[in-house]
Amino acid sequence: MDDATHTLPITLQRARKASRISQLDLALRLGISQRHVSFVETGRSRPSRPLLLAWLQEIDCPLAIRNAALLQAGYAPAYGSGDPDDPAWRQAHAALAGLLDAHDPMPALVLDAGWTVVRFNRGGLWLATLLMPFLADRPAGAPLNMLDALAHPDGPVRSMTNLAEVGPALLAHLRQEAAALPALTPKVETFAALLKARLGPRPAGLGASPGHPPAPVLTTRFATPVGELAFFSLFTTFGTPQDISLASLRLEHIFPADPATAAIVRAAVDGSGRPPR
């Protein structure tokens, strides 16, 4: 990103648009005029620190972006970044570990804001190894970024049997995240290019078959050496986090969408811990 774009007006404009809030709606929430919102977003006026904090809260801005906006406005940042020696920080990570273990043998993983995996449970590691065989060639301890994995030619997209349904929906979600965190954009657009190569040009958002209402949750199906697997996901985040490191973390619980998938996972993870060959 060009340094010229690192300004408070640009940051606030992008964050508001990513939250899909109009200038008028934001003005009403803050109790100020739409004209003042416009002046701040064009750089003609600088908000006070209390107003800026309230502004960022109303558009549900990530904590890291809030700190950046405060610095751009000439104020001290409001949020710290986790100290592993802090008992409260350790307690939060222990809670995540407990949730991972409780979901086992079904897959679960913790992701940071950039979609880098922080940790897996046993089921998550098994599924990742099954769907991404290239991981066997990675150095021990090397970080795994799931956006990079999605765009990898031998990544999980290769095994998806309903990519035409899942791909556009996932891309729309990722682009919405990238609107709030522009650093994600290059990885998201690399994934978009892979989708275009696999599916061909198609209107974004095409998914469910004509005449069929969308399912309440999106199920992803994979053709694998151990049989067809079907999963849906649930994400968990900390409520009202006050630390950037914790605010960036989310836990993905991956649930089997049918009994056959559940049986395969249990047999593989609780048995040898590896998929049968």
Scan for tokens 């021990």, then name that residue. Answer: 140
pLDDT of residue 75 exceeding 60: yes
Q: What is the pLDDT of residue 62?
A: 84
Establish if 91 belongs to a structural domain. yes
Indicate which CATH number applies to the domain containing 64. Answer: 1.10.260.40
Confirm if 56 and 65 have CB atoms less than 8 A apart.
Answer: yes
Do residues 96 and 62 share a domain?
Answer: no
pLDDT tier at 249 (50, 70, 90 boundaries)?
Answer: confident
Q: What's the pTM value of the predicted model, to 2 decimals?
A: 0.75
Do residues 131 and 260 share a domain?
Answer: yes
Average pLDDT over residues 134-158: 89
Q: What is the pLDDT of residue 231?
A: 97
The domain boundary, picked from 23, 45, 72, lies at 72
Do residues 52 and 122 share a domain?
Answer: no
Q: What string of DSSP letters covers 218-257?
A: --EEEEETTEEEEEEEEEEE-SS--BHHHHT-EEEEEEES
Average pLDDT over residues 252-273: 90
Average pLDDT over residues 146-171: 94
Q: What is the pLDDT of residue 202?
A: 61
Tell me the torsion sign for CA atoms 26, 246, 249, 91: negative
Do residues 49 and 120 share a domain?
Answer: no
Question: Which residue would you say has higher pLDDT here, 241 or 259?
Answer: 259
Do residues 53 and 152 share a domain?
Answer: no
Indicate which CATH number applies to the domain containing 213. Answer: 3.30.450
Establish if 275 belongs to a structural domain. no
pLDDT of residue 255 exceeding 90: yes
Task: Name the domain count of the chain.
Answer: 2
Confirm if 258 and 230 have CB atoms less than 8 A apart.
Answer: yes
pLDDT tens-digit series, residues 30-51: 999 999 999 999 999 999 999 9
pLDDT of residue 260 exceeding 90: yes
Average pLDDT over residues 224-251: 87
HEC states along 72-128?
Answer: HCCCCCCCECCCCCCHHHHHHHHHHHHHHHHHCCCCEEEECCCCEEEEECHHHHHHH
User: Which structural domain range is residue 253 located in?
Assistant: 87-270
pLDDT tier at 82 (50, 70, 90 boundaries)?
Answer: low
